[in-house]
Amino acid sequence: MANVKMNNKIILEKLQAEIILKLGKKMTQQEILDKIVDFAYKRLDNFIYEEVDHPILTEKIIERIKNNAIEMPIAQSDKNDDELIYGL
């Protein structure tokens, strides 16, 4: 198993202490991390939603995007997107 560097070791130790108090039994930090990874994997969409910084699209930003759009003819209209991107 590979070692993972942690920036929040103190928080993990606090979490471990809280779990011990609430469960009444000791869980190792490795067990806690394994459960956290499993929990996040099972709820991946929620995890991603929480971690992604969603920009707030205001009318002003939408208008700016529209104004910056460039009208250009398609370079190779005989090829679909996959062919152009991946060379299929």
Largest CA distance in the chain: 67
Q: What is the pTM of this model?
A: 0.52
Task: Examine residue 4 and state whether it is found in any structural domain, yes or no.
Answer: no
Is 71's pLDDT higher than 80? no
Task: Examine residue 1 and state whether it is found in any structural domain, yes or no.
Answer: no
pLDDT digits (tens, 9 = 90+) for 8-18: 889 999 999 99
pLDDT value for 53? 73
pLDDT value for 1? 56
Domain with 82 in it: 9-86
Of 23 and 84, the structure prediction assigns the larger pLDDT to: 23
Distance, CA of 86 to CA of 30 (rounded, Å): 41
* Number of structural domains the chain divides into: 1
pLDDT value for 8? 84
Q: How many other C-beta atoms can be found within 10 angstroms of the C-beta atom of residue 79? A: 13
